Structure 1
Amino acid sequence: MANKHIFGPNYSNFDTSYRYETSWLFSPTVLFIIRGFLSLYAFTTIFTIFGYNGANGLSENSERSFSYFTNLTYWGLAFYFLFAALHSGSYAFTGTPLLARWPKVLQIAHGMFYSTIVVYPWIVTIVFWALLYSSFDSPFSTWTNTSQHALNAVYALFEIIFPRTDPLPFIDLVPVVVILALYLGLAYVTHATQGFYVYSFLDNTKNSSGVVAGYIVGILVGSVIIFIIVRYLIVFRIWVTEKKLGMTGKFSCRGVSRAVEADAEKGLNRPSAEAEVH
């Protein structure tokens, strides 16, 4: 029987074996702790920047921060890891994750949210270091930029490698592209209402319309390429960890039977000895 999970999650039968909440390497409790720590670090970074700006007469920078794709995606990482931690923790301690109790529309939204947080950080990192970086003028600037333009990719890589998530379904390309398009609109609304361009390459007074269009199309095409690369990295991870190494997952003792049965229906035929319970 073909492994259906290789082709991506079926939103009509969402996450029956708790792949968003579990890992092939870490127990649900450890995954909960790691995700919680990563969320805490991201929120700490955000509010430390706000505090620094407020203490140094730079409150306008905080107000303007919501116009920057970097900051919006970093908020996204902070909130995703917060909810992912809650899902893993609730599964570890009760056997039924919070995600399984949500309405279907919120479950689907979480799946799409996952797709954005493993794609967008790579766009932010590549664009920043390739087009925007010049130098850092202080240790504080070095730390904040490293956190938001380098560690953000580490966050994405963690979620690609360690959870048992399915490959990104191609339908999730739609929200990934639509959100990018909406952000482009926000960037020009910001210029129209506040008088500044969030990114210099969008400035059509300094660049020709053809150059600006080239950047926009390039980022769009790049996002599609990154999406496909991420999807097949996850396919590769599943193949290596589950098919070759037999590391099919670590589960809560309160919920392992359902997870084993759900994966068996997908053709994994997990031996009971391989279903590690924690």
Structure 2
Amino acid sequence: MRRVPAATLFSADPSTDNLHRFETSWLLPPTLLAALRGLISLYIFTTIIVIWAWYGTHDDRVDIGETFSYFTWLTYWGLGFYFLFSAIHTACYAWTGRSVLFDRWPRFFRVLHTLFYATVTTFPFLVTIVFWVILFTPPFYKQTFPRWSNISQHGLNSFYALLEIILPATAPHPFIAIPVLILILLLYLCVAYITYHTEGFYTYGFLDTEGGKKSGIVTGYCFGILAAILVIFLVSWSLIWLRKRLTGSKIKRAARDPLRAQGEFVDAPVDMQERANEPKYPDVSV
């Protein structure tokens, strides 16, 4: 039975390195893509700082520490760091025509980035759906601050995820990312109940079993969220596949990219000379 390298399973095969999928777009040149990602990251971290400052100046300083127990906040931090690092990767590529950091780091980091990309294009949609369908209670926020903060964290988060589905030249998610997403949700469930036993509050009311009386209902919610993330993953995968189909796998390359001469928009294969010059990585097989 032929063994498949782990990097291939996680869509990090060395033969696709020259495509620079995470640092390029079919629509925007690398410099604009880096700038857009950097601005989104700046807005996300600014939002976090402003909300914390609001808590600190309105006698809610305890709420600052409690934010780390909420899935909404954890995914929002994840979005911020994803756009920060993706902006850095894209800016380096725009300047040099190479994947500067990825080429220096172990291949395992490409695998992690692939999984990171899968989370930021799935979890934000889950947060938005759960908040507006289950947690939100009408009427809509009349005060400016809660209206802005909730739109930023429970609305714009999905908009950012959608941009990352539409704009980059990324490939569809590897299906092996599904168990990783499920594991993250299970680990968060542990965080939620650890928070209850240590801090005395439920991060989300639908997790309250009320001493075992609502165990069945809570279990139903958990399986509902599991089904939701599977559907969201498939929708995200399909949208990326459709984008690649419609754009013909076009890539706008950096000016210093060696393959730019073959055509700025060409999804060019690696030639034999480039394969010979590629850095050699250990074959970690499964």
Give the TM-score category using the shorter length. 0.7 to 0.9
Q: Residue 166 of structure 1: SS of its match in structure 2?
A: coil
CA shift for structure 1 position 264: 3.4
User: For residue 264 of structure 1, what is the amino acid of its counterpart?
Assistant: A
User: For residue 136 of structure 1, what is the amino acid of its counterpart?
Assistant: Y
> 1:250 and 2:255 equivalent?
no
Q: Is the 8 A contact 1:167 1:234 kept in 2?
A: yes
User: For residue 203 of structure 2, what is the amino acid of its counterpart?
Assistant: V
User: For residue 130 of structure 2, what is the amino acid of its counterpart?
Assistant: V
Q: Distance in 2 between matches of 1:167 and 1:252?
A: 22
Q: Which residue of 2 aligns with 1:143?
A: 148
CA shift for structure 1 position 100: 3.2
User: For residue 255 of structure 1, what is the amino acid of its counterpart?
Assistant: D
Q: Which residue of 2 aligns with 1:19?
A: 21
Q: Residue 250 of structure 1: SS of its match in structure 2?
A: coil
5+ residue gaps, structure 1, are 1-6, 267-278
CA shift for structure 1 position 24: 0.4
Q: Which residue of 2 aligns with 1:81?
A: 83
- Could you report, residue by residue, the CA deviation over 1:37-94 in whole angstroms, capped at 9, with x for unpaired residues? 0000000000111111111111111110000000000000000000000011000011
Which of 89, 92, 96 lines up with 1:90 in the alignment? 92
Which of 158, 177, 181 lines up with 1:172 in the alignment? 177
CA shift for structure 1 position 174: 1.7
Q: Residue 210 of structure 2: SS of its match in structure 1?
A: coil
Aligned residues: 257
CA shift for structure 1 position 257: 1.1
Q: Percent of aligned positions with the same letter in both sequences?
A: 45
- Could you report, residue by residue, the CA deviation over 1:95-152 in whole angstroms, capped at 9, with x for unpaired residues? 1122333211111101100000000000000000000111425210000000000000
Q: Is the 8 A contact 2:126 2:229 kept in 1?
A: yes
User: For residue 45 of structure 2, what is the amino acid of its counterpart?
Assistant: F
Q: Residue 170 of structure 1: SS of its match in structure 2?
A: coil
Q: Is the 8 A contact 2:70 2:203 kept in 1?
A: yes
Q: Which residue of 1 aligns with 2:105?
A: 102
- Aligned alpha-carbon RMSD (Å): 2.2
Q: Which residue of 1 aligns with 2:275?
A: none
User: Could you state the TM-score of these two structures normalised by the residue count of structure 2?
Assistant: 0.85
Q: Is the 8 A contact 1:28 1:92 kept in 2?
A: yes
- Could you report, residue by residue, the CA deviation over 1:150-205 in whole angstroms, capped at 9, with x for unpaired residues? 00000000000000000001011121110011000100000000000000000111
Q: Distance in 1 between matches of 2:258 and 2:163?
A: 23
Q: Which residue of 2 aligns with 1:201?
A: 206
Q: Residue 22 of structure 2: SS of its match in structure 1?
A: coil
Q: Is the 8 A contact 1:21 1:87 kept in 2?
A: yes
